[in-house]
Structure 1
Amino acid sequence: MIIKKQDCGKKKKSSPIIGILLFLISIVLMALTGPIGLVFGFFHQLFAKGFNGIGEFALKIAVSIDQLGNVIMQHLFNSLWITKDGYEFGNRDETISSALGKNKQLCTLTTFGKAIDKILDIIDHNHSLDSIDYFIQPEE
């Protein structure tokens, strides 16, 4: 199921020290508890919904990793994939493909950005355009 995403977040200032501290804590927690949660989640979904459950769980993880990539790689993508007046990468609630699709619509992709978009089109026709303002959520 694909659901229209609504922007309802409010911007809030934060201390750089708090940001760095929370980043470090999140890395440690992911390293310590992530593998356990991943294995447990796969088995839980397998027994609750069968092989389809594993696919749903994997899709949720893939979208989350894509959103993380949009934040981590924002400066590189903004430098290499879009022109100076393009829609910027980096929204933590948006996938890389969504931002790429918005730039495709705005005609603000660089040659390299267009090449990346063409590669995605080979894998999944109109992938970036179909990803705009939507997130993929498996049906419950």
Structure 2
Amino acid sequence: MNTASKDQQTQRKTNIFIGILLFLVSIVLFITTTPIGFLYGFFYRLFTGFLKGLGGYFLEIAVSIDQLGNVVMQHILNLLWIKRKGYKFGHRDETISSVLGKNQEENTLSGFGKLIVSILDTIDPDHVFDSIDHFVESKI
């Protein structure tokens, strides 16, 4: 399924009760199954790829959490970190760093957004530029 059809599914009218129910089910499943999956994955990667495999495992988790943050915090990040006409946060397949990088290229970061970019780029030089996902287009 391509990105456009995923976005169309997300934007279709959804019954609020179904949306809330699926959200609650996902939270319960996440809380109850994640510790088991994490421990299994940790030891699997530790023994099959040693430290290199373990580093990749943690990076995959970090990217997934970052994508979740991009969706959950999209409204406040759009308000605080970018200018009105900037590339919007909120695409479920994109990281916060990718959106920051796109806005840095377009010079649409707010002052606060520029501060966040400078912090990230101090930790990892050119982080937001290197994080840009050119295959994801704005959902708005």
- Give the aligned residue type for 2:67: Q
Deviation at 1:8, TM superposition (A): 3.1
- Give the aligned residue type for 1:114: K
CA distance in 1: counterparts of 2:131 and 2:46, whole angstroms: 28
Residue 79 (structure 2) pairs with residue 56 (structure 1)? no
Equivalences for residues 64-79 of structure 1 within 5 A:
64-79=64-79
CA distance in 2: counterparts of 1:125 and 1:56, whole angstroms: 19
Residue 102 (structure 2) pairs with residue 102 (structure 1)? yes
Equivalences for residues 1-140 of structure 1 within 5 A:
8-10=3-5, 11-12=8-9, 13=12, 14-133=14-133
- Deviating above 4 A after TM superposition, structure 1's stretches of 4 or more consecutive aligned residues are none
The residue aligned with 1:4 is none
**Is the deviation greater in 30-39 or in 8-17?**
8-17
CA distance in 2: counterparts of 1:134 and 1:38, whole angstroms: 30
Structure 2 portions without partners, runs of 5+: 136-140
**Is the deviation greater in 65-74 or in 17-26?**
17-26
SS in 2 for 1:50: helix
- Structure with the bigger RCO (C-alpha within 8 Å, sep 6+) is 1
CA distance in 2: counterparts of 1:116 and 1:8, whole angstroms: 28
Deviation at 1:134, TM superposition (A): 5.8
SS in 2 for 1:40: helix
- Give the aligned residue type for 1:64: S
Aligned residues: 129
More strand by share: 1
CA distance in 2: counterparts of 1:59 and 1:37, whole angstroms: 16
Identity %: 57
Structure 1 portions without partners, runs of 5+: 1-6, 136-140
Q: If the length of structure 2 is used for normalisation, what is the TM-score?
A: 0.87
